[in-house]
Amino acid sequence: MAGEILYSGLGDLRLAETLSTQFMLLLADRNWLGNHPALFDAGDVSGTGSTVVKIPQIGLDGYDAAASAAESGNSANVALTDTSTTVTVARQTLARETSGLAQITDPGFLTSPTWANDAFGAMNARMTNMITALMSGFSSSVGSTGVNLSVANFLAAKATLAVNNALDSTPLAILSSVQMADLMAELATTSGGAVQFLQATADLVQARGIGFQGQFLGVDLFSSNRVPTANAGADFAGGMFTRGAVVTAFGTPFVEDPTQQVAIAGRILFERDRTARTDLTAYVSHFYYGVAEGQDLRGVAIVTDA
């Protein structure tokens, strides 16, 4: 037999590879916190005259207990205690730039909607990076270096908040995925179901943010691989905190030219910047955001084995 038409012989009629119409995302931690109520949003700096927001802390509503006095004795003045926390907003940015030829040959992957979604994901990742970086900074801590996170550590963290009068709202624990797995393993193998873990539902994930794992002992659990290491990399430094430990602020971007700019979710300025001479088109996004540690005693670092 001869003259068969074989695939391997059709070098001018077939291609070595064709591009799929679908693509896969490269692996990354895309969990984000959303607007969890444990984050204290100090608001918008737009039009305030400063990039810094000062949040007063005032000793009211039970900070000072009333004292007894004799029937006709003087009521002594009680001094008002105050302090403050500040948060500074700064520009966070992402730029992508493509050539005309790259755009012409693109089958639909790298279009302006792709870059808009990319900007949204990038800013969420940046926000999560900035917030998780604060976990290792709390002065109070639980856990032992080189030892897996245990239920006892978790309870001790909650107890520390209670001792500090900080357990007045739903706490949020931000743990690395390793810490989360250690906690789940301990729950599954040692507690015998005596303590209940409330698995996150789709609705709750929608409301609390991707990465929300559920609730354990009244504490919302969030897992992220953006949690930093501690002790020369031997451990992860997650944390548990209540509203006021982490303060955030933002700036609303100004859309000057709606034909080239759009404010995504009202917070991210996404714009197209065309350079005709070099046939390059840049998609640049800016997000004005700041985070800071507020009341230190409202947070506990959870430092356990990496």
Partner 1 sequence: MARLKESAGNAPTTAGGVNLGSTEAAKPASISTRIPTAPFVLTQHPQLGWYVFEGKIRPDLRRKALDPGTNGATLHSKAAALVAFREKGLSVLDNITAEYLVRSEVPGGAHHHFRWERLIPGTTASRPDLDGYGAWLDTLVARGHLRPPTPDALYGLLGKLQRENAKPEVIAVVEAALAEADVQALAVGDGVTL
Summarize as ranges the residues that interact with partner 1 (CB under 8 A). Answer: 7-12, 14, 16-17, 26, 28-29, 51-52, 86-92, 129-130, 133-134, 136-147, 150, 152-153, 156, 159, 225-226, 228-234, 237, 289-293, 296, 301, 306
- If the CB atoms of residues 86 and 252 are measured against partner 1, the closer one turns out to be 86
Packed helices 151-163 and 177-189: angle between N→C axes, nearest 10 degrees: 110
Nearer to partner 1, 234 or 260 (CB): 234
* Residue 34 Cβ vs partner 1, minimum distance, rounded to whole Å: 18
Q: What is the CA radius of gyration of the chain?
A: 26
User: Which of residues 100 and 206 has its CB atom nearest to partner 1 in the complex?
Assistant: 100
Q: Could you tell me the smallest distance in angstroms from the CB atom of residue 25 to partner 1?
A: 12
Distance in Å, CB of 260 to partner 1, minimum: 25
Q: How far is CA 134 from CA 37, 75, 185, 212, 294, in A?
A: 17, 44, 26, 18, 10
Strands 172-175 and 219-223: parallel
16 vs 79, which CB is nearer to partner 1?
Answer: 16
Closer to partner 1 by CB, 18 or 259: give it: 18
φ, ψ (nearest 5 deg) of residue 35: -115, 60
Report the C-alpha gap between 231 and 235 in whole angstroms: 6
> Quick one: which H or E segment has residue 116?
helix 112-132
| Six token digits for residue 100 | 């005309």
State in angstroms the smallest separation of the CB of 206 from partner 1.
Answer: 25
